[in-house]
Amino acid sequence: MSEPATRRLSKPAARFPFARIRKWAGVALLAFLLLPYLLVPLYRFADPVSTVMLWRWMTGARVERHWMPLERIARVLPRTVIAAEDARFCAHWGVDFGTLRELLEDIETMGDLGEVRGGSTITQQLAKNLFLWQGRSYIRKALELPLALWVDLVVPKGRQMEIYLNVVAWGPHGEFGAEAGARRAFGKSAANLNAREAALMAAMLPNPLTRTAYPPNAALRRLAGVHEGRAARSPKIDSCLGRPQARER
């Protein structure tokens, strides 16, 4: 009689540490998921860094970033970035559901997220840069979409663009933000970029590790020409940025 009783008493004691571990693992996961939603309102005023920047700092890699307020950046740059990356930036609520629907159809046809074209808005890219990881995965997309909607609800469009232009990678050696990118590519401030230079920088954004604006290759020059033309034909594409008119170049 004593042996079975001992076994019955020992089982809860044996399970207790695992139950405790599961509990704290659940709490940690919940905190991980909620933390971005708590931080986003702070970024209306505080100047954040990206997860890639944090990782490079942690590993001792070079990071160059000079924060530039949106009103000091040549207006042609955000306008051209919108034309190149997300033409409906001023119209959608963080996620372009029309483009997302087309992306889902492409995934259904091809069966692989890695094989289809990107469909992320600037707000989605901002959410990814601030809180998530690089590369394509269904898990990251599932986390990115509601976070982008929250960013767009809480942070004005002009502030979104300001943060995006200051955290996105713009060079292969740890250059982040428009100012560091412009200095590396053209030896000048982002405040002094002209339309062609802005288009070359916008053309770099999908892959700044391999694309360089100076000297650009033929493919990058052609792509920059497309972006420059779209921006010139759409002078109101940046109407939601809500900043004083800057000098055009």
Number of C-alpha atoms within 13 angstroms, CB side, residue 44? 11
Check residue 28 and give its pLDDT. Answer: 76
Check residue 75 and give its pLDDT. Answer: 96
Which residues in the chain come in under a pLDDT of 50?
Answer: 1, 6, 9, 113-117, 245-247
Element (DSSP H or E) covering residue 227: helix 218-233
Residue type, 163: I
Ranges of each domain in the chain: 1-46, 47-241
What pTM value is reported for the model? Answer: 0.84
Check residue 206 and give its pLDDT. Answer: 86
Check residue 15 and give its pLDDT. Answer: 55
Check residue 93 and give its pLDDT. Answer: 95
Q: CATH for 47-241, among 3.40.50.1100, 1.10.3810.10, 3.40.50.300, 1.10.645.10?
A: 1.10.3810.10
Helix axes 195-204, 218-233, angle to 10 degrees: 120
Query: Burial, 226: exposed, middle or buried (Cβ in 10 Å; 0-12, 13-18, 19+)?
Result: middle
Check residue 116 and give its pLDDT. Answer: 41
Query: Burial, 196: exposed, middle or buried (Cβ in 10 Å; 0-12, 13-18, 19+)?
Result: middle
CA dihedral 172, 177, 179, 185 (to 10 degrees): 30
pLDDT tens, position by position, 18-32: 778 887 777 777 777
